[in-house]
Chain A
Amino acid sequence: MEAIQLEHVAKVYHIGAVETKALNDVNLSIAEGEFTALVGPSGSGKTTLLQLIGCLDKPDRGTVSIQGQDVTRLSANQRADLRRERIGFIFQFFALVPVLTAYENVELPLLLSGVKPKERRERVMGLLEAVGVSHRANHRPDQMSGGEQQRVAIARALAPRPVLVLADEPTANLDTANGQQAIEIMRRLNEETGTAFVYATHDPRVVAFAQRVVKMRDGSIVDNGANA
């Protein structure tokens, strides 16, 4: 089954009087469990595409479907529900909640989903161990290195057992070793959990881990990498 299906998706931003076509008639489908890299120069529309897939924004034209469900017509609350249950996010700037510990950051989406305390604890500790930061469970983000923070963010993205994890430049703020480690962890968890990953990146070393590479330029997909 397709995890994601985009048909004729277009998105235009208006900044003052200037109109910028961020996406232009994009068609893309990603199967469940796929590990996909989204590459292209800055401004090619990678972030916009991830935001539309992640139900953070709505397209101006076309449809976005998650597991066969058209999400373009959902209300803000319905989109929030869908994000909480089926989509995990990893951001370039780690994006942990600064006042919460590593444990609490990973627990947060489970609290939002109403997962029972015992199961919460098991899942959080399991994930922190899986990403190798269980010894940092009680540390706050400002007490951890960038690499550790990004690993906590990966654990948080996977906590609700989503269908899909979206990562926008997940290694851009990490040094080579930490970046490589983060992407390795993502790949391993992709194989272990069957969660699809779509990540935008510039970094050729990170692209090398992808099963499939989708190339974008000027708001269009120039190579959808389906047979790569």
Chain B
Amino acid sequence: MPLNKLWTLAYRDLGRNRRRSILTLLAVALGLALLMLMNGYIAGVMEDTLQNSIRLRTGHVQIRASSYEEEKLSLQAKDLLANPDELTARASALSEVKAAAPVLWASGILETLNDSAGLQIYGIDTASPMYAPIRAAMLDGAFLAPDDRNGILIGKPLADSMNVGAGQKVNLAIVNSDGRPDEGIFTIRGLFATGIPSYDQSVAFMPLSKAQAFTGTNRHASAIFILLNNQADTEKVAAALRGPDVTVLTWSDLNQVFVQAIQAGMSFYVILDFIVMLIVAVIIANTLLMSVFERIRELGILAALGMKGRNILQMVLLEAAGLGLAGIVVGIVLGSAGVAYLATAGIPIGDKIASVGGNSMALGTTLYARFVPGTFAALSLAMLLIVLLASLYPAWYAARLEPVEALRAE
């Protein structure tokens, strides 16, 4: 029997119990929309968090001295880069590089009369476009000038918790490159808020030259921080910069904890996806089985007229495909609307939850979904496949009915 005629039969069979067909179609649609929302949201959260981290904390590529250990924030000359300007120039010369700048890290304690807080000092090249995000995030006061000898920037949340503001003086204590404690009085030049609470509460900026003088590291830098025009060029740039005595790390090395968390999170999501699809499969199988049971005698008539089991199987599968495809189209519309909403409005999670990830996870206070067309296409295909798989049993059941028994059915 020609497929288009079988399709006519299948299509009209779906119209018989319109309410049931629509409910089943909605189950497919809502299932897919839910999958799109879940996957779009988690993809948005993961990608935004990773990009936050790259933008603010790690860059795409870093050059460090081979012996540098990040946890220690060592200031000993042997652990630092002695020629940061030369390395920066080399990196900047690569066409893939958007910005490269040396940075000096030190751990410090910020003190007021009543309070103190541990933080990480960033000695930065204040003129570098690398810090455009911080300039854009300034809430109060002004960004640092290159020759500022006693100014620092701190995050608004930290300032609020210590009850200080722009223009006020604070004490900053460090352990310098000789291993001796030192301290200095600094003026809070300005307050920034990047929207990443874990970052805003733990970072203080000062000009690189001042940081070098303060810590006694004499023109050394902890790392060259490199941002690329295109993340896909990471390996290429890293390879070009590798050399003796230096370690070149990429964003995936530098965000290892987070990348591993993403992978673990994704495998959990695959299980959730599977559960949603299983529920849809059960609904589809139930609907088709009911519709087969309701017309057993009619299927017997088709068999009596000489329709073969194969054609009956095809007919039920076509009914499933019809329901599935229509459900998927509606699901894509609903899912896209939901993802579009969450991509613009986002879900606010508040400072406390955003901070739980600590330094390894640059979570924003509002998390946004994102369109991931490849994932959505894969989910739609998987949904169609599940629908067809779920219809195999009802179709097989209908196809193997004995005509004489089917005709006897009430």
Contacts and interface: CB of A to CB of B under 8 A. Distances in A.
A56 B1 contact: no
Contact of A97 (B301, B306, B311, B403): B301
Given A56-B404, A99-B16, A112 B9 contact: no
B319 to A, nearest CB: 11
Contacts of B306: 80-85, 109, 112-113, 160
A217 to B, nearest CB: 22
B5 A111 contact: yes
A180 interface: no
B308 A99 contact: no
A142 to B, nearest CB: 11
18 contacts: A51-B407, A76-B309, A80-B303, A80-B307, A82-B306, A83-B305, A91-B407, A95-B297, A95-B298, A95-B301, A97-B302, A99-B15, A100-B9, A100-B12, A108-B305, A112-B1, A112-B307, A156-B305
Contacts of B8: 104
A98 interface: yes
Given A95-B297, A100-B12, A112-B307, 11 more contacts: A54-B304, A57-B404, A89-B301, A95-B298, A97-B9, A97-B298, A99-B12, A99-B15, A108-B302, A111-B2, A160-B306
Contacts of B9: 97, 99-100
Interface of A: 51, 54, 56-57, 76-77, 80-85, 89, 91, 95, 97-100, 104, 108-109, 111-113, 156, 160
A191 to B, nearest CB: 24
B1 A98 contact: no
Interface in B1-50: 1-2, 5, 8-9, 12-13, 15-16
A76 B305 CA distance: 13
Contact of A98 (B16, B304, B311, B407): B16
Contacts of B297: 95
Interface in B49-93: none
Label chain A's interface by main secondary structure. helix
Interface in B358-397: none
A85 B402 CA distance: 19
A62 B298 CA distance: 30
A109 B12 CA distance: 18
A194 to B, nearest CB: 21
Nearest to B305: A109
Contact of B1 (A54, A83, A111): A111
A61 B1 CA distance: 34
Nearest to A107: B5
B1 A91 contact: no
A106 to B, nearest CB: 11
A113 B307 CA distance: 9
What 5 A-B pairs have minimum CB-CB distances, sorted nearest first? A84-B306, A99-B12, A57-B404, A56-B404, A83-B306
